[in-house]
Amino acid sequence: MDKPDIADTTPRAVETVAGETYYWCACGKSQNQPFCDGSHRGSSLTPVHIKAVETETVYLCMCKQTGNPPFCDGSHSRL
């Protein structure tokens, strides 16, 4: 199984819009962090689909080690 690259060691605040769809980068290779740009192709890692239920600020994991993908769970503090 492939391991993700650490894109950053702090979460990214993102304003989501109700009804919109987002794809969180799980591999850490995307040049469009925290969103997928297709860089995972050829690996076993795939992006995580996010369907925003409401318009709000969410904190997306950038270290790619979270136990609650795509949301930050503080895993970056243990790196």
Quote the number of domains for the chain. 1
The reported pLDDT for the residue numbered 1 is: 75
Residue 79 lies in a domain: no
- The answer to whether the CB of 77 falls within 8 A of the CB of 63 is no
pLDDT digit string (tens) for the chain, length 79 residues:
799 999 999 999 999 999 999 999 999 999 999 999 999 999 999 999 999 999 999 999 999 999 999 999 999 999 9
Residue 35 lies in a domain: yes
The reported pLDDT for the residue numbered 59 is: 98
Rounded CA separation 15/56 (Å)? 6
Residue 48 lies in a domain: yes
The token pair at 11 is: 């979460």
Residue 78 lies in a domain: no
